Amino acid sequence: MDLNIDLNILEAEPAEQYHAQADRFLSSHQLLDFIKCPWLHRKKSVGLIEDADSASYVIGRAAHVRILEGRDAYEAAFALGGPINEKTNKPFGAGTKAFADWAAIQGKPVLSHDQVDLVEQMASGVAMNDEAVALLLYGRAEGVARAEYCGTPCQIRIDWLHPHRGIVDFKTCDDLTWFEADAR
Average pLDDT (95-120) is: 95
Candidate from 53-57, 65-69, 100-104 with smallest mean pLDDT: 53-57
Model pTM greater than 0.75? yes
For 132-136, the CB contacts below 8 A with 24+ separation are: 135/160, 135/162, 135/165, 135/168, 136/67, 136/68, 136/160, 136/162, 136/168
Q: Which helix (H) or strand (E) holds 22?
A: none
Residue 2's pLDDT band, with cuts at 50, 70 and 90, is low
pLDDT in tens, 141-150: 999 999 999 9
Cβ–Cβ under 8 Å, residues 82 and 99: yes
If you average pLDDT over residues 155-169, what whole number do you get?
A: 95
